[in-house]
Structure 1
Amino acid sequence: MVVASFLRLPSSRSSTTFSSSSTFFQGCSKTEDSHHPLHFPFLHRHLHLIKKPLHRTLAKLSKQHGPILFLRFGSRPVLVVSSPSATEECLSKNDTVFANWPRLLAGKHLGYDYTTLVWAPYGDHWRNLRRVASLQLLSSNRVQKYLGIRMDEVKSLVVRLFRSTSKGSGEFQVVEMKSMFFELTLNVMMRMIAGKRYCRDGDDELKDEKKFKEIVRESFQVSGATNIVDFVPMLKWVGLNKIEKKLEILQRKRDEFMQNLIDERRKLTSSNSCYEQNSKTIVDVLLSAQETDPEYYTDDAIRGFMQVTSLPLEYTFSIH
């Protein structure tokens, strides 16, 4: 009964937090909200509950008010589900009901106006993007072709560890592993995407490497920031849009960086007529598709796919 009551909500998923709770930002109208904490209309209902870290705040509320909780963050209704069985109902049995994200500012600026795989609404366009990603870019066959890249980078990491531990007098050495694992992931992903490493074994950073790390850092910081305008859009007109300006600046940096990679690969493949199929990067695959269907595989679309394939870098950086 409880599951059925919240599944009647119209579909529009914003985000899911996997810890003690799962949070769904719904684009719904009025509903039965028998399970909710005290709210203040003049504070836009439950906006006062948005405290960092949000997932812990929601976990505490779930313990107080039950496993299924209905809130309102400004104009956005929020459904908090902390029951494993109810979460399974949402994400497995009724996944299409909760398949859409709301139109947040991050999706507008970083998601090319909600057209990328991450931000596109559920429908024909999203299914086609998913098909391209799963069958052409990240298929098991494609990933297997990059086995040599992964082996090279792991070997490089082992050699680096050996050198760092052999500098001393034969005693055990303390080695900081977080940065090494981050660089391992970064180099593997960037070689798969664009065919070049962005972290060297030495101490000096390359200019492109430093720029790329800054973009990844800013992407994680800005996309993870709480934007009050997403919950109360009218505040945009009173000057509370600093995060949106940061998103615009960040997207220009990301576009410039990714476009340089695309242009480099386009120039390389056009000048090399004997280019091997097994050595193709993800950008090369997309450029080949662009030749057959230039209207669909525009440079904007290619940059959008590059963002999707590089998402593991941002999550890796979050723990770095």
Structure 2
Amino acid sequence: MADKLGSIFTIKLGVHRVLVVSSSEMAKECLTTNDRVFASRPKAMATELMGYNYATFGLAPYGPYWRQIRRIIVLELSSHHRLQTLAHIRVSEVKSSIIDIYRSWERNKGSYERVMVDMKQWFGNIIVNMVVRMMFGNHFKPGEQNRDQFQNAINRFVELMGVFVPADATPWLRWLDIGGYEKKMKKTAIETDSLLSGWLEDQKEKMNSTLDESGDQVVFMAAFLSRVKEEVKEELYGFSTDEIVKATCLLSTRGTFDVILPCNVCSSYRHDDGDSNMGLVLKKAQQELENHVGRDRKVEESDMSNLVYLEAIIKETMRLYPAAPLSLPHESTEDCIVGGYTIPKGTRLLGRHFELMPFGSGRRVCLGSSFALEVVQLIPASIIHGFEFQHPSNEQIVMTESSGLVNHIASPLELLVAPRLSPHVYGFLT
């Protein structure tokens, strides 16, 4: 439709008017010039049922509640101090996951000297472990049932947040529950609330014993809870303290980087130059790592500023495979002018080329972008530095994406893997 109608047009989705923009100029007008106007979010059944009745910060309407919670999150999640406080968790989880691959190779290698690893699952596990430790202080062990339960519940949450619900477009259809979405959402809400409530009660008991040297709470849930208790003396806009904490932590557990990570390896591998083992891009990234890191030590966060080619791969990956390709929907709170057209109050905004802004823009920009970029560089740098990859059939990797609030590679990402460094770099004696 954009190819036919141009970079700005409106359509009707049920009873709602939707503005569709598909150029950087139109996106800039909406999210810079008219940033305040388009700073709100439309109401949706998923946010109501699974987001604690719009208490979820990222999906809450623009207003006093959103502004106050945003200020607390900026202090407790996206500040430089918080990123530094959590750095040891990022580093230790990457180290542990790299060792897991090496051990798997050592146990299962045959005469071929390579082992099959589902990199999609590997990336998923490292992200879950990292996020859970930073958010809740827990660490899942391999094969632990609670990790699978948590991961499945969050995956269902993300999937249901991104589905098209007929009742959202035409509210009087809600009683029919077409597609059974309301039933599924209520069930998922119970599952996620049960997990979050358990962690919240644990943090309430541990709050006096989880301080770092400066006296700060190390775990985000505890730090956020403390801050909310200090600044919110009674129910805030109809939400209890527990609801605010759980709603905020729920959405924060899914960063935008979990989709980008496997895509980095895929994108590097897919640019084939005739070599059946790996693509030219991956070779160049590994050569840059050897130039600046060498083969006698692991990659460290301090190396990231020197890895300009890897940074370029990451940026291109975010452009080609955005975590949220249409961004989260915006809604205008008053009449405005975009591209010379009058856009009425209550118009919803979608974009066709929002992949150029992977973390959004304006007031509703993703507050976890700094945290995401820290992780999205260290993990691919470590895995590309430490291992060689080969596709079992020497064919290009299929990058078909699944549906949901954020995109995932739909099929498994199974690659043949072999270490490329000395055993002592992985933590093993020769």
TM-score under structure 1 normalisation?
A: 0.73
The residue correspondences of 1:133-282 to structure 2 (distance < 5 A) are 133-167=73-107, 168-169=109-110, 171-198=113-140, 200-201=141-142, 205-240=143-178, 242-269=180-207, 272=209, 277=215, 280-282=218-220
For the Cα contact (< 8 Å) 1:68–1:80, is it kept in 2?
Answer: yes
Following the alignment from structure 2 to structure 1, what is the Cα–Cα distance between the partners of residues 160 and 60?
20
Following the alignment from structure 1 to structure 2, what is the Cα–Cα distance between the partners of residues 232 and 220?
22
* Equivalent residue, structure 2, for 1:303: 246
* Counterparts in 2 of 1:261 and 1:274: CA distance versus 1, 3 Å: closer
Shift of 1:273: 8.8
* Equivalent residue, structure 2, for 1:67: 7
* Counterparts in 2 of 1:91 and 1:236: CA distance versus 1, 3 Å: same
SS in 2 for 1:69: strand
Task: Spell out, residue by residue over 1:85-107, the C-alpha distance to the aligned partner (whole angstroms, 9 max, x if none).
Answer: 11111122211111111111112
Following the alignment from structure 2 to structure 1, what is the Cα–Cα distance between the partners of residues 20 and 138?
42
Shift of 1:279: 6.0
* Counterparts in 2 of 1:92 and 1:274: CA distance versus 1, 3 Å: closer
Shift of 1:63: 0.5
- The one of 20, 23, 26 equivalent to 1:86 is 26
Shift of 1:286: 2.5
* Equivalent residue, structure 1, for 2:59: 119
Following the alignment from structure 2 to structure 1, what is the Cα–Cα distance between the partners of residues 257 and 171?
27
Sequence identity of aligned pairs in percent?
27
Shift of 1:159: 0.7
Task: Spell out, residue by residue over 1:189-229, the C-alpha distance to the aligned partner (whole angstroms, 9 max, x if none).
Answer: 1100111123x34xxx2221121022012112211221001
Higher relative contact order (CA 8 A, sep 6+): 2
Shift of 1:278: 5.5
SS in 1 for 2:82: helix
SS in 2 for 1:88: helix
Following the alignment from structure 1 to structure 2, what is the Cα–Cα distance between the partners of residues 230 and 178?
32
Letter in 1 for 2:220: I
Task: Spell out, residue by residue over 1:149-188, the C-alpha distance to the aligned partner (whole angstroms, 9 max, x if none).
Answer: 0110111011112112223146233332221111111111
Letter in 2 for 1:68: I
The residue correspondences of 1:9-28 to structure 2 (distance < 5 A) are none
Query: What is the aligned-residue RMSD (CA, Å)?
Result: 2.3
For the Cα contact (< 8 Å) 1:145–1:278, is it kept in 2?
Answer: no
Q: Does 1:99 find its partner at 2:42?
A: no
* Counterparts in 2 of 1:65 and 1:313: CA distance versus 1, 3 Å: closer
Q: Which runs of 5+ in 1 are unaligned?
A: 1-60
For the Cα contact (< 8 Å) 1:220–1:314, is it kept in 2?
Answer: no
Letter in 2 for 1:307: L
Task: Spell out, residue by residue over 1:229-261, the C-alpha distance to the aligned partner (whole angstroms, 9 max, x if none).
Answer: 100111123453721222112111111110000
SS in 2 for 1:307: helix
SS in 2 for 1:311: coil
Moved more, 163-172 or 258-267: 163-172
Shift of 1:119: 2.2
Q: Which runs of 5+ in 2 are unaligned?
A: 260-405, 410-430
For the Cα contact (< 8 Å) 2:129–2:139, is it kept in 1?
Answer: yes
For the Cα contact (< 8 Å) 1:216–1:313, is it kept in 2?
Answer: no
Task: Spell out, residue by residue over 1:109-145, the C-alpha distance to the aligned partner (whole angstroms, 9 max, x if none).
Answer: 1222223211222122211111011112331211110
For the Cα contact (< 8 Å) 2:72–2:224, is it kept in 1?
Answer: no
For the Cα contact (< 8 Å) 1:153–1:184, is it kept in 2?
Answer: yes
SS in 1 for 2:58: coil
* Equivalent residue, structure 1, for 2:311: none
* Equivalent residue, structure 1, for 2:325: none
SS in 1 for 2:139: coil
Following the alignment from structure 1 to structure 2, what is the Cα–Cα distance between the partners of residues 313 and 184?
14
* Counterparts in 2 of 1:290 and 1:109: CA distance versus 1, 3 Å: same
* Equivalent residue, structure 2, for 1:283: 221
SS in 2 for 1:248: helix
Following the alignment from structure 1 to structure 2, what is the Cα–Cα distance between the partners of residues 256 and 147?
29
Following the alignment from structure 1 to structure 2, what is the Cα–Cα distance between the partners of residues 239 and 221?
17
Letter in 2 for 1:195: G
SS in 2 for 1:245: helix
